[in-house]
Amino acid sequence: MLLNWCDWLQHSWWVASLDGSVALSVLVELGHYFGFFLIVGSIVVVDLRILGLAGRGHDAARLAGQLFPVMWTGLFFALLTGFLMFADDAVALFPNPVFRIKLLVVLLAVIFGAIVQWRVGRWDRFARIPVSAKCLAAVSLALWIGAILSSVEVPHLTYVP
């Protein structure tokens, strides 16, 4: 049933018009790249701060408060353009195991990012950032690198035998 929906989506008129226009395709790709640059750049620096590897001169919560709106803005653009890129090739992507792994890794990475944002104010009140917080930050960091790796593996493992 979902595959039928993918077929309908891929052949709807607006997806066809998107596919036919080079300018629109470039714009969508631009939005996706810039969106994930903003997400990954901001969350990774917050993770590194919690791990004690960045910006130790200031509170982690203040840096996080400054950067998280950048992350959510990036996520908005990446999801919007990601959906459009998916729509263009939905029938092939939907059953693709590499693509499914990518979605799962991205979902987990967003959840861990949200947990870090939710807890970072509390961690700052301790004299030293707790080890459990550092573990969470390390997992978040690894998930975002995994998100990029699984994304670049989608065309690589799908179209190259």
Question: Which among 4-12, 46-54, 102-110, 132-140 is the span making contact with other proteins, rule CB under 8 A?
Answer: 46-54
Question: Which among 55-63, 88-96, 115-123, 131-139 is the span making contact with other proteins, rule CB under 8 A?
Answer: 55-63
20 binds other proteins, rule: CB under 8 A:
no
| b/e burial code for range 99-128 (CB count within 10 A of at least 16 → b) | bebbeebbebbbebbeebbebbeebbeeee
The nearest distance, CB 103 to other proteins, in angstroms, is 17
Site string for other proteins, 132-161 (x = CB under 8 A): -------------x--xx--xx--x-----
In this structure, the number of other CB atoms found within 10 A of the CB of residue 86 comes to 17
58 binds other proteins, rule: CB under 8 A:
yes
44 binds other proteins, rule: CB under 8 A:
yes
Q: How far is CA 52 from CA 13, 49, 118, 127, 130, in A?
A: 51, 5, 19, 13, 11
Of 71, 82, 99, 93, nearest to 28 by C-alpha is: 82
Interacting positions 62-81 with other proteins (CB under 8 A): 62-63, 65-70, 74
54 binds other proteins, rule: CB under 8 A:
yes
17 binds other proteins, rule: CB under 8 A:
no
37 binds other proteins, rule: CB under 8 A:
yes
3-state class percentages of the chain: helix first, strand second, coil last, to nearest 5: 85, 0, 15
